[in-house]
Amino acid sequence: MSPIYCRNRGACCGLTGLTAGIVLLLQSLVPLAAAASPYAAAPGYLNLNEHLDRYPEQRELMAQFAEQVEAPAEPLATPPARAVRIAMVYPGQQASGYWRRSSRAMARRLERLQIPFELKTYFSRPGGDLDLQEQQLADALRWDPDYLAFTLDLLPHSRMIERILAQHRTRLILQNITTPLADWQSTPPFLYVGFDHVQGTQLLAERMFELIDYRGKYLMLYFAPGYVSEMRGGTFAAAAAKYPDIEQVGAFYTNGEAEKAYRATQRALKQHPDLKMIFASATDTALGALRALREAGRMDVLINGWGGGKAELAALRRGELDLTVMRMNDDNGIAMAEAIKLDLMQAPQRVPQVFSGQMMLVERSVSPEVLGYLERQAFRLSGGADDNNNNDNDEGGRRGERGGASDMAGDALANELAAGALK
């Protein structure tokens, strides 16, 4: 079957709201009872369709800005008198290199835009470390940055963000969220940036259901209680519920920890020897589940990745991971740099409220040439090093920015396109 599918950033789809009542972080692996699903829709978030219906002028802004992200860097004509201060507070202590690569890609784009800057980065564990994150935010704000990049996953994050928005002292960039909050429209963040969780999950769901012939038992491995689990796991569960012969037999919050995913998978395999599929909401979750499948000799169970970082692609090449949705990772780092450039040009009105980067669905049957090409595009500024290595090596054409493929990769890509591998 077709090994690659594409969801362009312009495509929009339905989202469900973030659960309003989740306020506790689970400190251990906790199964979810079917009757206690956290996915009752709650108001507050606007999916991309709703956002564009309310603000149709954003369509053209988004399209123009996407072209700017895709194009080579054009240096700022008049650099600022002092270095721009940028602080990043990220849950980057995980196997996925998404956060660290985003920081590197933004820094390198700023260098090519000839914008002087100072950068402070703070990392914590995903799904927890709320006290640490609050301390890091306070430390970052004491530095008085011009721009602050943060995320919104857990309910307490929203309270932290509201305090920042109320102060009007720094431009706030919210990363890994592409669904604006309606309550913040009067004083919105400077930019929502990332890769749409729902669109990526829909790509996975459509293909995974097809691969199990729309029947069988599956295990749900959520991230931590909050936005990412809602948008990824909630979307997958809602899609699966449309097929009467697809049955969810377990659901666990893993807090993005491989060990918890490992134990949940072991338990599910013992309780359900006929398990056919696992949906993993994040990289560490997928890697933990894979370990359990290897040990049990159950590599016949279909399992996905989410994000397409180096660790996932290595598992894909080994034939262990069946498929993943691969972010063109550096899109969001470049988008942040280009938004800062427009702001320095006194043109913030040209920055859209939302930037959602491109994603590709990649299966393990993809050719090495095409996978290599996609890697060069995804990591064109953050480099070909390990996800969490700060190696400064660049890959890709046009001095590390998105460029043409080599003849071999270009031919291979063209062949797979002609075969209907890109949709």
57-68 mean pLDDT = 96
Do you know the residue count of the chain?
423
Beta bridge partners of 181: 45
Report the CATH number of the 48-196+329-359 domain: 3.40.50.2300
Asked if 152 and 45 touch (Cβ cutoff 8 Å), the reply is no
What pLDDT is attached to residue 47?
A: 83
DSSP string, 199-259: HHHHHHHHHHHHHTTT-EEEEEEE-STTHHIIIIIIHHHHHHTTSTTEEEEEEEE-TT-HH
8-34 mean pLDDT = 31
What pLDDT is attached to residue 225?
A: 86
pLDDT at position 413 over 70: no
What pLDDT is attached to residue 72?
A: 96
What pLDDT is attached to residue 40?
A: 28
How many whole angstroms separate alpha carbon 177 and alpha carbon 157?
12
296-324 mean pLDDT = 96
251-275 mean pLDDT = 96
How many whole angstroms separate alpha carbon 345 and alpha carbon 113?
12
- Split at pLDDT 50, 70, 90, the class of 33 is very low
- Split at pLDDT 50, 70, 90, the class of 149 is very high
Alpha carbons within 13 A on the beta-carbon side of 276: 14
Residue with tokens 């899109």: 331
268-277 mean pLDDT = 98
What pLDDT is attached to residue 386?
A: 56
328-348 mean pLDDT = 97
Residue with tokens 């063109």: 328
Same topology, domains 4-44+198-327 and 48-196+329-359? Answer is yes
- Split at pLDDT 50, 70, 90, the class of 135 is confident
pLDDT at position 278 over 50: yes
pLDDT at position 302 over 60: yes
182-191 mean pLDDT = 85
What pLDDT is attached to residue 23?
A: 24
**Pseudo-torsion of CA 32, 36, 40, 44, nearest 10°?**
-70
pLDDT at position 237 over 90: yes
Domains of the chain by residue range: 4-44+198-327, 48-196+329-359
Task: Find, among 57, 60, 55, the residue nearest to 10 by Cα.
Answer: 60
pLDDT tens per residue, range 89-98: 887 566 678 8
What pLDDT is attached to residue 45?
A: 80
- pTM of the complete model: 0.81
Q: Is 21 exposed, middle or buried (0-12, 13-18, 19+ CB in 10 A)?
A: exposed
Output the average pLDDT for the chain.
Answer: 81
pLDDT at position 399 over 80: no
pLDDT at position 138 over 80: yes
Query: Which fold would CATH assign to domain 4-44+198-327?
Result: Rossmann fold (3.40.50)
What pLDDT is attached to residue 156?
A: 55
pLDDT tens per residue, range 358-393: 999 999 999 999 999 999 999 999 986 555 554 433
Angle at 372 between CA 369 and CA 376, to 5 degrees: 140
Residue with the bigger pLDDT between 131 and 377: it is 377
Q: How many CB atoms sit inside 10 A of residue 243's CB?
A: 13
